[in-house]
Structure 1
């Protein structure tokens, strides 16, 4: 009896950019995670609404000190995800030449409903490995905020869950306070 194993083809950032430039991925919403191309699900109305709530709050609270990017790529060592919200360092003009690198990122946020499992496993490991200091996951169904801090190797050493009655301050902006209810307000 002959047994075979199938190998999965992994792509580099350069391969991925060539596919984008050639138009191969032009009709698809995808992101590169650990060398694999993943489909991005369509955003539901709740996802969009709560993401906008948080992004607008962060823009207002960090005005002049940070740049808030929504649904734009970041370039990591072998991944190019498109997080829902990223706060990279200023000046914004540096991102004319490249997407933010891990050393540029102050805070990274995913808003999750259908992608909660991927965001709290695959993406969490990638972001920890890249040493991104703080990663938030907005759990739409659970109406809570999951915060990961202190990256080491392929995981975060600290995980804190915030309910809708609590507040949080990002590590990079200790003077900024966000009520979790603001994220989920209607």
Structure 2
């Protein structure tokens, strides 16, 4: 007996691309599908570094976040009608959380977006997403990459320049992430070795 070949039917995009409504209404999309410029972007399996860096930063943010903010991971942020990326981590205003069934947040509610770079997402994480986050008015952005022989996270921190509507780098952190904005944060990045 021969097994029938399995065929995947991919959705055909509309002529003008997908919208945020499509993203939330198309059936059977893979988990963590993003919408970038009207195109659906599927996430590849992640490396161990990606998971550990997200955990380390999430734990550090949760430990230091003031009451008026909340920390979330891998939640969709609506930037506009054709852009709804899913930052690896985000900090948002507490009042934006309205329900445990919530599936998305608005850019206006986000204070910090964090992207941990993976081989399949380098261009999006370094270029497309920061430009879109800045254009949507998200005040802070962090870009996290694996660096050095010990493969520790390096965190580049950025703040939105309200005049140019683009991010300006505020620091490059190798061993310790110590900041006072958007709130006081102190994370030992070398702790990744103990996770």
**TM-score, normalised relative to structure 2:** 0.76
Aligned to 2:113: 108
Aligned to 2:19: 12
Deviations 1:73-131 (A, max 9, x none): 11221211111101110136425556221111111111113123220101111111101
Task: Return the alpha-carbon distance in structure 1 between the equivalents of residues 161 and 36 of structure 2.
Answer: 18
Shift of 1:163: 3.4
Task: Return the alpha-carbon distance in structure 1 between the equivalents of residues 39 and 180 of structure 2.
Answer: 30
Shift of 1:45: 1.1
Structure 2 residue ranges without an equivalent (≥5): 1-13
User: Is structure 2 residue 128 aligned with structure 1 residue 122?
Assistant: yes
Check the 8 A contact 2:144/2:156 in 1, yes or no: yes
Structure 1 residue ranges without an equivalent (≥5): 1-6
Bigger strand fraction: 2
Instruction: Please report the RMSD computed on the Cα atoms of aligned residues, expressed in angstroms.
Output: 2.7
> How do residues 163-182 of structure 1 correspond to structure 2 at under 5 angstroms?
163-169=173-179, 171-173=181-183, 175-182=184-191
Aligned residues: 174
Aligned to 2:4: none
Q: Which moved more, 1:154-163 or 1:97-106?
A: 154-163
Does the C-alpha gap of structure 1 residues 154 and 36 become closer, same or farther in structure 2, counting only changes over 3 Å?
farther
